[in-house]
Homo-oligomer: A and B are copies of this chain.
Amino acid sequence: MIQEIEDAYSFVFEKELLQEISEVGNLKTFDENDRIIEIGDHVTSMPLLLNGAIKILREDKEGDELLLYFLERGDTCAMTLSCCLGHTKSEIRAVAEMETSLVMIPIEKMEEWTSKYKSWRNFVFESYHSRLSEMLDTIDTIAFLNMDERLLKYLRDKAKINQNEIVQITHQQIAYDLHTSRVVISRLLKKLELKGKISLQRNSIQVIDL
């Protein structure tokens, strides 16, 4: 296990901390679409992403979802971090975007490491910083872009995360993530195809205009 942690975090943490992580950390793996954290969950440990990718979702009272952002190798969920430190329940849902492995750090270690390791402090602050930026980006997207632009951005992000210009997904699933209806997505996808930006197949979409 130490090897995977080193691969993903050796440029971030000092040797001693890496050692501690591999001692107290709990390795977990998830398959695609597994739910990692549920809204309202009491969070007692903090995840460090080793491999794979996670999508973070928000839900309203009616149960409608909205994709907030993706997390990749080397990221942590600042939202969860925030819950840990504030001892509050999770305000978001985390779902494995693909096969994913992560180390869970018990929250007791958090404060200890915060005073002990400067690299840990920096990591925590850096995580907050990138998450706030991601949130701003999300707000820009939903506030300033039309659905067709949001859709194209979504497909590009998805292609990037999966390192594959062919995105395996149904129109219905896109509709869930963007908080709209399947018909709207089908309609806009067709328009994007006519403009030459994508190519449509059953169960998959090729992003041409990356």
The secondary structure that dominates the A interface is helix
> Which of under 10, 10 to 19, 20 to 34, or 35 or more describes the interface residues of A?
20 to 34
Q: Contact check: which of B58, B85, B133, B143 meets A140 at CB < 8 Å?
A: B58
Assess the A82–B129 pair: CB atoms within 8 A.
yes
Residues of A within 8 A of B (CB): 58, 60, 64, 66, 68, 78-79, 82, 85-86, 88, 91-92, 114-115, 118, 121, 125-126, 128-129, 131-133, 135-136, 138-140, 142-144, 179
Q: 28 A-B Cβ contacts within 8 A?
A: A58-B136, A58-B139, A58-B140, A58-B143, A60-B140, A64-B144, A66-B144, A78-B128, A78-B132, A82-B125, A82-B128, A82-B129, A82-B132, A82-B133, A85-B129, A88-B129, A91-B133, A114-B121, A115-B115, A115-B118, A128-B132, A131-B132, A135-B135, A135-B136, A135-B139, A139-B142, A143-B179, A144-B179
